[in-house]
């Protein structure tokens, strides 16, 4: 059922947390130089802030972002409103993180947090708010208890770790006042510690798992409630 939808992913975020150390700005600059020598740098710009070093790409679209920040207690990657696919983002995080840990000597990532945000249109409802109110929440009309109409509706689902799935997922599904036709979907995956000695393939896999849960599991769940509106059946 999820295949009937066409999700439009608008943001990827990934944080790799590690024990606090003094940010090694020189190491990131050396990495930046190597990226340029390769001929196809993942990031074109290098800057130093009061928090640490930042690699980034120029963006033209308002609200867009493409950067990796190396702070005292984490690596932070962000792609917002860029053309990067989930495969490209996962590979970029893996490649850059693998290079940085060799430079700075980090032994463990204490957690990985991946955030995926996407938009999708309901198939049988004219707008996302109507789907949430009638299809998902089963409200025939505006709740009278609040004394005013709600401009937005949403649902939050939390999936804690289990023996079979050691990570957690936190899902949000919301209407968008600025884009009534769409639904906003967010999935945040939190993954357990990863010793660097084991390799960083899991970093790439965790990005893929978080994305798949959003565009497969969550959309299959929403499809159960995405039936024709009552007014259309009459």
Q: Report the pLDDT value the prediction gives residue 229, as an integer from 0 to 100.
A: 58
232 within a domain of the structure (yes/no) = no
126 within a domain of the structure (yes/no) = yes
- The segments of the chain whose pLDDT lies below 50 read 1, 232-234
Q: Report the pLDDT value the prediction gives residue 141, as an integer from 0 to 100.
A: 79
188 within a domain of the structure (yes/no) = yes
Q: Report the pLDDT value the prediction gives residue 32, as an integer from 0 to 100.
A: 93
234 within a domain of the structure (yes/no) = no
What's the chain look like in SS3?
Answer: CHHHCCCEEEEEEEEEECCCCCCCHHHHHHHHHHHHHCCCCCCCEEEECCCCEEEECCCCCCCCEEEEEECCCEEEEEEECCCCCHHHHHHHHHHHHHHHHHHHCCCEECEEEEEEEEEECCCCCCCHHHHHHHHHCCCCCCCHHHCCCCCCCEEEEEECCCCCCCCEEEEEEEECCCCCCCEEEEEEEEECCEEHHHCCHHHHHHHHHHHHHHHHHHHHHHHCCCCCCHHHHC
12 within a domain of the structure (yes/no) = yes
pTM higher than 0.85, yes or no?
yes
Q: How many CB atoms lie under 10 A from the CB of residue 9?
A: 20
Q: How many CB atoms lie under 10 A from the CB of residue 150?
A: 14
Q: Report the pLDDT value the prediction gives residue 230, as an integer from 0 to 100.
A: 57
Q: Report the pLDDT value the prediction gives residue 231, as an integer from 0 to 100.
A: 53
Q: How many CA atoms lie within 13 A of 228 on its CB side?
A: 5
Paired strand residues for 194: 109
Residue 115: phi, psi to the nearest 5? Answer: -120, 130
Q: Report the pLDDT value the prediction gives residue 143, as an integer from 0 to 100.
A: 80
What is the longest distance spanned by two Cα atoms in the chain?
A: 68
Q: Total domain count for the chain?
A: 1
Residue-number span of the structural domain to which 116 is assigned? 2-227
193 within a domain of the structure (yes/no) = yes
233 within a domain of the structure (yes/no) = no
54 within a domain of the structure (yes/no) = yes
């Amino acid at each position: 059922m999820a295949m009937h939808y066409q999700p439009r992913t608008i943001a990827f975020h990934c944080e790799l947390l590690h024990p606090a150390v003094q940010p090694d700005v020189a190491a990131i600059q050396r990495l930046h130089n190597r990226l340029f020598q390769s001929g196809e740098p993942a990031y074109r710009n290098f800057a130093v802030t009061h928090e640490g070093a930042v690699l980034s790409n120029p963006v033209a679209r308002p609200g867009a972002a493409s950067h990796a920040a190396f702070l005292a207690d984490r690596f932070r990657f962000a792609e917002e409103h860029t053309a990067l696919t989930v495969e490209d983002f996962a590979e970029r995080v893996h490649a850059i993180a693998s290079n940085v840990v060799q430079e700075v000597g980090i032994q463990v990532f204490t957690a990985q947090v991946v955030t995926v945000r996407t938009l999708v249109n309901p198939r049988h409802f004219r707008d996302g708010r109507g789907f949430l109110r009638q299809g998902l929440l089963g409200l025939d009309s505006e709740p009278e208890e609040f004394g005013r109409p709600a401009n937005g509706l949403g649902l939050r689902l939390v999936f804690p770790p289990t023996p079979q799935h050691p990570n957690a997922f936190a899902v949000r599904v919301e209407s968008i006042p600025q884009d009534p036709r769409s639904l906003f979907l967010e999935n945040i995956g939190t993954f357990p510690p990863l010793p660097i000695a084991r390799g960083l393939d899991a970093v790439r896999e965790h990005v893929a798992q978080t994305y798949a849960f959003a565009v497969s599991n969550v959309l299959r769940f929403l499809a159960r409630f995405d039936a024709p509106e009552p007014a259309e059946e009459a």
